[in-house]
Amino acid sequence: MYDRIKKGMSANVIPEAPIGSNYVAKVKIIDPIMDAASGTFGIRLHLPNEDYSILAGLRCRIEFIEN
């Protein structure tokens, strides 16, 4: 997916229970270094959370929205 994810694209963030729901975030940073052992790379998303309803450290599923 490294070549398909672009800075500024949207992603649906779906936190695990008890939060649930669906939140839209924007890709801000794509790490240029890949971890060869796991085949993964880092991405930083910006997700507004003014009311602190999404807890830190909560496991989430991400679905990238390709335009």
Length of the chain: 67
35 occurs within a structural domain: yes
41 occurs within a structural domain: yes
Taking residue 54's Cβ as centre, other Cβ atoms within 10 Å add up to 15
Instruction: Please tell me whether residue 67 adopts helix, strand or coil conformation.
Output: coil
At 62, give phi and psi (nearest 5°). Answer: -120, 135
Summarised one tens digit per residue, pLDDT across range 24-66 is 999 999 999 999 999 999 999 999 999 888 888 889 999 999 8
Summarised one tens digit per residue, pLDDT across range 3-30 is 999 999 999 999 988 777 899 999 999 9
pLDDT value, residue 27: 97
4 occurs within a structural domain: no
44 occurs within a structural domain: yes
Tally of structural domains, the chain: 1
State the Cα–Cα distance between residues 31 and 56, nearest whole angstrom. 21
Domain membership of residue 40 as a residue range: 10-65
59 occurs within a structural domain: yes
State the Cα–Cα distance between residues 13 and 45, nearest whole angstrom. 10
**Residue pointed to by tokens 């807890």:** 55
25 occurs within a structural domain: yes
pLDDT value, residue 25: 96
